A and B are shown apart, each in its own frame.
Chain A
Amino acid sequence: MNRKLAKEAGPRTPFARKRAMIVGATRGFSRIASWARVACIVGSLSIPAFAQPEVGLVGGVTRDSSSGKPVPGAQIIAHSLNKGTDQSTVTGADGIFTFTKLEPGLYEIAATKEGFRNSSTHVEVSVRKIARVELPLTIAEDLPRATLKPDDAPLTERERQMLLRIERLEARLEAMAAANTNVGAEPLVASLTPAASAAPASFPQTSRSSIVPPPAPVAPPDHRLPEALQAPDPRPAVDTETPFAYGDFTWLNGSPRNKDTVLDTKFFTPEIRFDTHYMEDFNQPKDHTIVGSTESFRSGEVQIEQASVGGDFHWQGVRGRILFMEGLFATTTPRNDASAGVGNWDLRAAYKYVSEAYGGYHFNVNHGLNVDAGIFVSYIGLFSYYNFDNWGYQPSYVSSNTPWFFNGVRVQWFPTAKLKIEPWFINGWQSYAKYNGHPGLGGQILWLPKEWLKVVGNQYGFGQDNLGLPHTERIHTDDSVEIRFYNNQTKDRGISKIAMSLTGDAGAQYGGGLCGTCAPSKGKESFVGWMLYNRYWWNKDKYAITFGGGQMSNYGRYLTLLPPINGADAVTGSPYFTELPGQKAHMWDSSINLQYMPRQYITWWAELGYRHSDVPYFAGRGGVTPPGFPLGGTNGAPGQFACMNGAPSGATDLPTATSNCGSVGGVWFPDLRRSEAKFSVGVMVKF
């Protein structure tokens, strides 16, 4: 059957059926009903249409001018008389058509339909207005039908494609039908019916063997299976775009475990932290002073280690963060930075109440690119500066002995959702200021390839970070891995998680008479350390216990926290615990920490720890504060030996000090021990 025949074959031919796909067959609507439908359709379109910028609507109906019946399948062209552009549509079975995205202006709305004369009208389209038109079509009996090819009507691109598809299908079906004639006349309409079962009875049926199988789709069995038996579709329920959002990393040491942010606004997200504890140093220092830590400071007392308020500012790409800190942190943290002794202005006072303060901008590059400047908490040593985030309270030396801040600029680049590359341009090794001529360069690479694995490396170099040693440079590497072995949140009781962390640190100072690998007698300045922690959670993470500890060996003691003997700090130094090239400090520790976490915002904890040093280091019963002052304080000269009455000796060398203090009972010495055992309890809150 050729195509011409198909066109003339009447409504049961493929062509007629295909046309009917567009034309439809419904007739007989009343004029009122038609207009009601126009109103309904236009009305229903108004919402999405008005969500678009500045467009108007045109709705209408085509009718047979003689009978008044709607004319389906008429081609409607909206020709802009202002711009000369065209839009096109086809009337539905009820003769209705709509244009929903017409720009304002004057339009000619024209209707064409095979067997009818063309009809048109003008209409003014206004923004957010609905224009209604009616296009009567007159039967063109005098026109030869052959000239009214449907292809003559201007079509939209989509309609043209639809018709092309239909024509291709027709050609294919005709070819199939032609092939069929050799074995029997399969009615083409049957081929058009995919199931080959709806052939009209008026067509002769052929034997099954003669039927060319129609190109019916093969229905997969899934459609007839109960849903439970169907293969599940892969539905990754994770955000793969936001960095590290694909997994739950609240188990990590150094990350808060909160699952919710309580207070959250469009521009500012506040943060509040409280950290209060009671510590009992079994050495019972009479001045209640604990030394050699950036987490433990006072014995036999209830102390507030941290009381912080602040939060994140965010508006589009602009960002900023500030977190103030009160409590012991405000005075115990700045004292470890010797850079404040360079030049003038009291930098320690300037920053003592600020743990973080920076501003920057977020760029939508890859998975994010940030440029921030200000003061940041440092990431060296795995544990967070904020104890609420940590598995334990008193970490080992490679974490505790690294101060917790740096001033400078950082760039955070997230090339993937699992990787962060963060270079730093900073004043120095976790310092407020620059010690000498060189700034510090460094950076962090954080990789979270799986929810159960964290790999992080911090590297530092170039900086000249020694007070008064301008030709000495420092390098350091701090690398950690955290692994969660087990995770089962389905059980009410029993182990719910097991994880471990391992950190290794190494570094050296060199130049200016110092060396990293030489003999201690030649001025060796090096650092090697590690720490290992293992943690068990149970009863759905309500409880957790952490065992761990570590070691460090620090020749030159440049990363050994100076005991606050007589109020000494990193600037003043102390004649009682010198930090000279080649001097060794080899220490180890271990601890066990129990946490009770009934709610995500609060942690009750208890910890038992033991620390050991191969040189006298920890405060003993006699304490580290000179006697003799009415209030029991220091004498204001921590860089000198103190006399037994507490007065400064006026000397930094022992022979002179001995001589100067001879009249008041001699030189006072702090009670430094090689070991320390400590029991602590506390509560921490974070919102």
Chain B
Amino acid sequence: MRNFLKQSLGLAAATVCLLAADGVWKSKPVAEWTEEDAKQVLAKSPWSKEIRATITRRLTEEQLREGGQMGQPRGIGNEGVDPKGSGPKVSPNIFGGPGGDDRSARSLNQPITLRLRWETALPVRLAELKAHEAEPPTLEGDGHRVAVYGIPGGDFKGDPKQLGEPLKHLAALKREGKKDVRPVMAEVFRRESGLVVVYLFPPSAEITRKDERLQFNAQIGRIVVAETFELSEMEFLGKIEL
């Protein structure tokens, strides 16, 4: 009997721990979500991730010219992405130096933390309602919306669609053995925390559980984003939510 009690208590404790490890989207009915729960969904869930992206190195003028361009590229993801003080420093000592290590920080790839969120996913929409969080400025049209938060940059002005137009062609949802899904629209919005780029992928893209993984790839100026989503994690109430 004592052993049975011990085993039962152990099992119960393990269950509690397991449930505690689960996200709120698994462990609680939506009606019982608190504002904190909703914020968890919006902050760290299969639909919302803080990711490490890359600011690719700043090319020299020769490298740009060799690649058919002149001048540093302008626009979202190009301007304002290099941290202050990351530029080159010329030493008057021409007889000594570090050789190949004589280069600025911005001439090397730099990491950047961004947030990806599937805005059209039902749990995200519900969490936004719960958390009183204003949803990001929306794109018109049906489909799956992926928002990239935290893009550094200057004071870009203009129509969000026009700002997003050059970025539209540089994003895709990739699946193994299937054709890439390209966004039909991209828009850029400004927020206090930085710029938000929102991509709208067409609803005609049939993404099923069999796809297993979905990789979101985007290049936003010099910022390269590549994040894999496990579709099995993105089920909510028995349905894949994107």
List the B side residues contacting A18 at CB < 8 Å.
30-31
List the A side residues contacting B73 at CB < 8 Å.
242
- Determine whether the beta carbon of A237 is less than 8 Å from that of B56: yes
Query: Is A94 part of the binding interface, using a Cβ–Cβ cutoff of 8 Å?
Result: yes
Query: Which of A60-68, A128-136, A257-265, A458-466 lies at the binding interface?
Result: A257-265
Mask, B77-96, CB within 8 Å of A = 1, is 00000000001101101111
Instruction: Please tell me if the beta carbons of B98 and A598 are within 8 angstroms of each other in the complex.
Output: yes
- What distance in Å separates the Cβ of B150 from its nearest Cβ neighbour in chain A? 14
Query: Of A48, A314, A541, which is within 8 A of B99 by CB?
Result: A541
Number of residues on chain A facing chain B (CB within 8 A):
107
Chain A: minimal CB distance from B53 (Å): 7
Question: Within the assembled complex, what's the spacing in Å between the Cα atoms of A69 and B88?
Answer: 61
CB-nearest residue of chain A relative to B49? A233
A217 touches B232 (CB 8 A): yes
Selected contact of B26 from candidates A217, A250, A489, CB within 8 Å: A217
A residues in contact with B238, CB < 8 Å: 169, 172, 214-216
Most chain B beta-carbon neighbours within 10 Å: one of A47, A162, A259: A259
Q: Is A351 an interface residue (CB 8 A)?
A: no
Contacts of A496 in B (CB 8 A): 100
Residue among A259, A264, A362 making CB contact with B69, cutoff 8 Å: A362
How far does the Cβ of B99 sit from chain A's closest Cβ, in whole Å?
3
B137, B142, B159: the one contacting A48 at CB < 8 Å is B137
Q: For A599, what are the chain B residues with a Cβ–Cβ distance below 8 Å?
A: 90-91, 93-94, 97-98, 102
A621 close to chain B: CB less than 8 A: no
A195 near B68: Cβ-Cβ < 8 Å: no
Interface-lining segment among B1-9, B126-134, B177-185: B126-134
Q: Give the residue of A52, A311, A543 whose beta carbon is less than 8 angstroms from that of B160.
A: A52
Docked-complex contact B31 and A21, CB < 8 angstroms: yes
Q: Which residue of A lies closest to B53 (CB)?
A: A235
Asked whether, in the complex, the Cβ of A47 is within 8 Å of the Cβ of B191, the reply is yes
A540 to B101, CA, bound (A): 7
Q: A20-B31, A165-B239, A217-B232 are in contact. Are A600 and B190 (CB under 8 A)?
A: no
Q: Complex formed: what's the CA distance from A244 to B210 in Å? A: 36
A321 proximity list for chain B (CB < 8 A): 65, 70
CB neighbours (8 Å) of B234 from chain A are 217
B37 within 8 A of A: no
A601 touches B26 (CB 8 A): no
- Chain B nearest CB: distance from A94 CB in Å? 7
CB distance from B146 to the nearest CB of A (A): 15
B-side contacts of A571, CB under 8 Å: none
Asked if B227 is at the interface of the complex by the 8 Å CB criterion, the answer is yes
Contact, CB under 8 Å: B134 / A45:
yes
> Once bound together, how far apart are the Cα atoms of A535 and B109, in whole Å?
27
Complex CA gap A94/B35 in Å reads: 12
Report the tally of A-B residue pairs with Cβ distances under 8 A: 261
CA distance A237 to B169 in the complex (A): 18
Q: Is B192 in contact with A169, judged by CB distance below 8 angstroms?
A: no
User: What is the CA–CA distance of A540 and B103 in the complex, to the nearest angstrom?
Assistant: 12
Within residues 202 to 242 of chain B, which ones have a CB less than 8 A from any CB in chain A? 215, 217, 219, 222, 224, 226-228, 230, 232-239
Is there contact, CB below 8 Å, between B60 and A258? yes
User: Min CB distance, A331 to chain B, in Å?
Assistant: 26
The verdict on B59 contacting chain A, using a C-beta distance below 8 Å, is: yes
A243 touches B129 (CB 8 A): no
Separation in Å of the B204 CB from the closest CB of chain A?
15
The answer to the question of A218 belonging to the interface, with a C-beta cut-off of 8 Å to chain B, is: yes
Contact (Cβ within 8 A) A17 B56: no
Q: Is A312 an interface residue (CB 8 A)?
A: yes
Q: Enumerate the 9 nearest inter-chain pairs by beta-carbon distance, A residue then B residue, closest first.
A: A215-B238, A542-B99, A541-B100, A314-B71, A598-B97, A217-B235, A243-B67, A20-B31, A260-B88
Confirm or deny: B36 has a beta carbon within 8 angstroms of a beta carbon on chain A: no
Tell me the A66-105 residues at the B interface (CB within 8 Å). Answer: 90, 92-94, 96, 98, 100-101
Q: A41-B134, A259-B102, A269-B71 are in contact. List 11 more A-B contacts (CB 8 A).
A: A47-B191, A193-B29, A215-B238, A216-B235, A240-B219, A259-B103, A260-B60, A312-B71, A412-B68, A542-B99, A598-B94
User: Which B residues between 104 and 125 are near A, CB-CB below 8 angstroms?
Assistant: 104, 106-107, 109, 120, 122, 125
The answer to whether B134 and A100 have CB atoms under 8 Å apart is: yes
Q: In the complex, which residue of chain B has the Cβ closest to the Cβ of A193?
A: B29
| Minimum Cβ distance to chain A for residue B149 (Å) | 11
Q: Is the Cβ of B59 less than 8 Å from the Cβ of A242?
A: yes
Within 8 Å of chain B (Cβ to Cβ): is A238?
Answer: yes
Contacts of B93 in A (CB 8 A): 598-599
Which among B25, B95, B104, B132 has the greatest number of chain A C-beta atoms within 10 A?
Answer: B132
Which residues of A have CB within 8 Å of B100? Answer: 489, 496, 537, 540-542, 597, 600
A262 with B90, Cβ < 8 A, contacts A24-B130, A41-B132, A157-B142 known? yes
What is the chain A residue whose CB lies nearest that of B88?
A260
Known: A195-B19, A237-B109, A239-B56. Contact between A312 and B65, CB under 8 A? Answer: yes
Q: Chain A residues with Cβ under 8 A from B70's Cβ?
A: 269, 312-314, 319, 321, 362
Q: In the assembled complex, which residues on chain B have CB atoms less than 8 Å from the CB atom of A264?
A: 61, 72
Given contacts A540-B99, A541-B99, contact A235 B122 (CB under 8 A): no
Residue A245 interfacial (CB < 8 Å):
yes
